[in-house]
Amino acid sequence: MPNTLGKLLPLKITGYTIIFLFVYFVFPFYLSCRLNSNCLIVLIVFYFANLIVVVAILRKHSAKSYSLDSSIQNLQEKLNLLSVEYFKTQEASVALNERRTKYNSLRDFLNKINQSLDLDKVADTVASGVFSLIGDKKGACLLYLVDPRTQKLSLFKAKKEDSGFVVKSKEGNILDFWVLKHASPLLIEDVKNDFRFDLEKLKLQDSRVISSLVAAPLISENKFLGIIRLDNQQVNFFTQDDLRFLVSIADLGTLALENSELFQKTQDLAIHDALTLLYTKGYFAERLKEEFKRCLRQAMPLSMLMLDIDFFKSYNDEFGHTAGDIVLKEISRVISDSLGNFNAIISRFGGEEFCVSLSGIDKDNAYEIAETLRQRIEKEKVILRRTDSHVTVSIGMANFPADATEEDELIRASDKALYMAKQKGRNRVCSI
């Protein structure tokens, strides 16, 4: 069949050519001769008429072609607009899916931080969540909390891509101080091009290379709790969306951290004396039981010191009850500082009495420790109403297994030794 069509096609072209020549050349010439007319005039009229027809046909075709081109252009413009809208819709859909994923992650994050009231666990969950959800586990995430004593930033948790590097800025750097000062979030796309910060000063404060950063303050009812910060060595690693998401996490984290701090303070108040910050008598009794069992199990000695401030009532009578509080605080501080290296458990046992347990300390060494403590307290200067005063204490000392075989018996023995110290004139150490 293809060979047959190939043969017929030249025949058709030849036939159309013969017809065209006949109609436009042979037939007009023959017709003009038959009518006995001037052949040239007839041909001119014929061809002119054909030319008019051809021009009309061409104009009509041109108009239709123009109209068709216009329609095609309009359709192309509409197609372009639809394409733009389609891509916008696609981008919006992708962004919506990303936001949905993020906020699903935010919901899971909220559930995790509400599972515990332990400050360390909550802080670890916040730092881990931020490092994973926003930092993609790259660079570093640092969580600073405000130290209630110094009111300075203190590094509390750190999550980092390189587990080997050490965070040099334990109290924050100029970037953290900016967040602290302005109490507002911070996004830096390229540290080198940010005129707000001195790059040389930053290098001195932090040995790591920081190119981009995002940080948010942890603020609750105008109380500054700390800062959560992400940094990376790559420029433009963080975006405005990252900043907004970090602020959302920071708001949730702030509430959880505040609840944890309040819970910890409540626990501290339950086991610490509010004035001296030493352990309460009840908590000391619980710890003493544990230590006594441990020493008994490991065949270790356990010594106990019972201290009483000499003539404490006289300070209240002469300088007022405020002076008595000052004396208690100073004596508590000296005891804590003096016995810090002995793994001592120190308690305000009641009023002006203090009780100390020393695990692993035998009777002779315990006596020396008690005597050194007594002398240090005696030398300590206490200022009461602009008057230099000196406070003395009486100390009773007892030891397990030398003086007692049970914890209650050990307490009674040390109390008995304290009574002996008072009877012998106070400001001395006695043991039974």
Q: What is the pLDDT of residues 64-101, one digit of tens each?
A: 888 888 888 888 888 888 888 888 888 888 777 777 77
Domain presence at residue 74: no
Region 412-421 average pLDDT: 95
CATH (domain of 338): 3.30.70.270
Residue 307 sits in the same domain as residue 198: no
Domain presence at residue 107: no
* pLDDT attached to residue 38: 60
For the cut 80, the answer to whether the pLDDT of residue 153 exceeds it is yes
CB 305 within 8 A of CB 377: no
Contacts of 281 (CB under 8 A, 6+ apart): 347, 348, 349, 350, 355
d(CA 187, CA 237): 10
For the cut 60, the answer to whether the pLDDT of residue 5 exceeds it is no
d(CA 325, CA 349): 15
For the cut 70, the answer to whether the pLDDT of residue 159 exceeds it is yes
Residue 150 sits in the same domain as residue 235: yes
Residue 286 sits in the same domain as residue 173: no
Tell me the pairing of strands 212-220 and 186-188: antiparallel
Residue 243 sits in the same domain as residue 297: no
* pLDDT attached to residue 260: 84
At 36, is the pLDDT very low, low, confident or very high (cuts 50, 70, 90)? low
> Whole-model pTM?
0.55
Listed range (78-87, 223-232, 314-323, 353-362) with the worst mean pLDDT? 314-323
Number of domains in the chain: 2
Closest by CA to 212, choosing from 185, 186, 248, is: 186
| Burial class for 128, CB neighbours closer than 10 Å (0-12, 13-18, 19+) | middle
For the cut 80, the answer to whether the pLDDT of residue 290 exceeds it is yes
Domain C-terminal end among 233, 266, 299:
266
CB 225 within 8 A of CB 202: no
Q: How much is the mean pLDDT over the chain?
A: 86
Contacts of 375 (CB under 8 A, 6+ apart): none
Contacts of 394 (CB under 8 A, 6+ apart): 307, 308, 310, 418, 421, 422, 426, 427, 428, 430
Q: Treating both helix axes as pointing N-terminal to C-terminal, what angle do 240-271 and 119-133 enclose, rounded to 10 degrees?
A: 170
Domain presence at residue 101: no
Domain presence at residue 177: yes
**Domain with 335 in it:** 281-431
* pLDDT attached to residue 71: 86
Question: E strand or H helix at 268, and its extent?
Answer: helix 240-271
Region 117-140 average pLDDT: 89
d(CA 396, CA 411): 10
Residue 261 sits in the same domain as residue 308: no
Q: Mapping DSSP to helix (H, G, I), strand (E, B) and coil, where does residue 380 land?
A: coil
Domain presence at residue 175: yes
d(CA 213, CA 186): 8
Domain presence at residue 25: no
| pLDDT higher at 176 or 51 | 176
* pLDDT attached to residue 50: 76
For the cut 80, the answer to whether the pLDDT of residue 28 exceeds it is no
* pLDDT attached to residue 9: 58
At 420, is the pLDDT very low, low, confident or very high (cuts 50, 70, 90)? very high
CATH (domain of 160): 3.30.450.40
Q: Which residues of 140-177 are buried (b: 16+ CB within 10 A; e: fewer)?
A: bbbbbbbeeeeeebebbbbbbeeeeeeeebeebbbbbe
DSSP letter string over 140-156? EEEEEEE-TTT-SEEEE
Domain presence at residue 214: yes
Q: Mapping DSSP to helix (H, G, I), strand (E, B) and coil, where does residue 279 land?
A: strand
d(CA 226, CA 176): 10
Residue 255 sits in the same domain as residue 292: no
| pLDDT higher at 294 or 64 | 294
DSSP letter string over 145-189? EE-TTT-SEEEEEEEESSTT-----TT--HHHHHHHHHTS-EEES
Q: Mapping DSSP to helix (H, G, I), strand (E, B) and coil, where does residue 331 land?
A: helix
Residue 292 sits in the same domain as residue 262: no
Q: Mapping DSSP to helix (H, G, I), strand (E, B) and coil, where does residue 362 land?
A: coil
Residue 220 sits in the same domain as residue 176: yes
Residue 397 sits in the same domain as residue 311: yes
Domain presence at residue 407: yes
Domain C-terminal end among 238, 266, 294:
266
Of the chain, the percentage scoring pLDDT greater than 70 comes to: 91
Residue 304 sits in the same domain as residue 228: no
